[in-house]
């Protein structure tokens, strides 16, 4: 049960969820309080969790999408841009 789990273990298990903003509001506030109680520099620790998660997207190797997917995406972008132009003309 979570109440009996050692505090630092709970922190390590919830850190990624917190940094990804996947905890419910009350869970996020409880996590922040727990971190600030366990670490003298809790605010810095929380910021580090967020910084690490922010870097994850840059760790994967860059890939070129298949041509068909690229064309489908570009066509959808063109369609959305045309819809915006039409809406803006109506205003």
Count structural domains, the chain: 1
Per-residue pLDDT, 75: 95
Per-residue pLDDT, 58: 84
pLDDT band at 4 (very low <50, low <70, confident <90, very high): very low
Please tell me whether residue 29 adopts helix, strand or coil conformation: helix
Per the prediction, the chain carries an average pLDDT of 84
Instruction: Tell me the two tokens of residue 43.
Output: 């605010």
Q: What is the largest CA-CA distance in the chain?
A: 61
- CB–CB of 42/35 below 8 Å? yes
Instruction: Give the chain's count of helices (H) and strands (E).
Output: 4, 0
Tell me which DSSP letter residue 84 carries: H
- Model confidence, pTM: 0.51
List of E strands, 22-61: none
Could you tell me the residue range of the domain that residue 30 belongs to? 2-90
């Amino acid at each position: 049960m979570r109440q009996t789990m050692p505090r630092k273990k709970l922190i390590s298990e919830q850190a990624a969820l917190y940094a990804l903003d996947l905890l419910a509001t009350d869970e996020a506030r409880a996590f922040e309080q727990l971190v600030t109680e366990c670490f003298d520099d809790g605010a810095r620790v929380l910021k580090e969790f967020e910084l690490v998660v922010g870097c994850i997207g840059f760790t994967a190797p860059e890939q070129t999408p298949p041509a068909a997917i690229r064309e489908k995406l570009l066509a959808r972008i063109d369609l959305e841009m045309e819809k915006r132009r039409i809406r803006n003309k109506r205003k």
